[in-house]
């Protein structure tokens, strides 16, 4: 067994538990997703043996391939990276949750890719920066996108997702405050869409403090990522 992995996972989980306790929140209100992008499928198997049941990938091909390789039926795969519209069908086939719905066309394509009566859990991604390349809908178009997703019967809108700006752009805590207010707006439109996906290796404590329900943690648990292929 991979003891370093075990140690880092336990350390991160202890820090999450402490942050959740300090925030006066219930332990079960937070799901820790381990981001396994660029790592081999074996790492996912090792994590599975350590009890991890939620993993995140940011590229469709890697997601599709690893899901097939690992083949564990009770592992939930979270698609967390920008999705090209022409990859929507493949993403729908491999992801249990899609965190990065940031435009009407992508929502429509994910909906059109439904092959049976099942619904796909999705989150709308908010861009907390002014840079369109980051992915995510800008705040001014958030309500419209939320309302559109709600019209698509094969999508189950669960909430809001965001990536904090880089530290030199803005402190995570203040960006997360804006995110928390946006999440309130989403809940005002769709009360059941109460997931908030935020928080990475360096800012998950701040994310817990603003009410994140899904933390996407990579390197703090997996160690440094191999070079992007």
Ligand X SMILES: *Cc1c(COP(=O)(O)O)cnc(C)c1O
Residues that bind ligand X (CB under 6 A): 35, 37, 58, 80-81, 163, 200-201, 216-220
Label residue 154 exposed, middle or buried (CB < 10 Å: 0-12, 13-18, 19+): middle
What is the number of helices (H) and of strands (E) in the chain?
9, 8
**Which is nearer to ligand X, 150 or 220 (by Cβ)?**
220
> Nearest residue to ligand X, using CB?
218
How many CA atoms does the CB half-sphere of 154 hold within 13 Å? 15
Q: Least CB distance from residue 188 to ligand X, whole Å?
A: 25
Cβ 117 to ligand X shortest distance, Å: 30
Is the CB of 75 or the CB of 198 nearer to ligand X? 198
Q: Which is nearer to ligand X, 158 or 216 (CB)?
A: 216
The least distance separating ligand X from the CB of residue 163, rounded to whole angstroms, comes to: 5
Least distance to ligand X, CB of residue 102, Å? 12
């Amino acid at each position: 067994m991979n003891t370093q992995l075990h140690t880092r996972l336990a350390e991160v989980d202890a820090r999450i538990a402490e942050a959740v306790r300090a925030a006066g929140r219930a332990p079960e209100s937070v799901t820790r997703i381990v981001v396994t992008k660029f790592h081999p499928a074996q790492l996912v198997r090792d994590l599975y043996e350590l009890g991890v049941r939620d993993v995140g990938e940011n590229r469709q091909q890697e997601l599709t391939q690893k899901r097939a390789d690992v083949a564990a039926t009770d592992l939930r795969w979270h698609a967390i990276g920008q999705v090209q519209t022409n990859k929507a069908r493949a993403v729908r086939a491999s992801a249990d949750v899609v965190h990065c719905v940031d435009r009407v066309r992508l929502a429509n394509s994910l909906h059109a890719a439904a092959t049976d009566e099942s619904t796909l859990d999705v989150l709308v991604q908010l861009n907390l920066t002014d840079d369109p390349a980051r992915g995510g809908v800008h705040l001014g178009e958030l309500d419209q996108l939320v309302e559109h997703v709600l019209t698509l019967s094969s999508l189950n809108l669960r909430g809001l997702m965001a990536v904090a700006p880089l530290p030199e752009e803005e402190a995570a805590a203040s960006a997360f405050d804006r995110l928390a207010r946006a999440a309130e707006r989403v809940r005002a439109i769709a009360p059941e869409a109460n997931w908030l996906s935020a928080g990475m290796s360096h800012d998950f404590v701040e994310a817990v403090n603003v009410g994140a329900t899904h933390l996407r943690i990579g390197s703090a648990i997996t160690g440094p990522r191999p070079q992007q292929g």
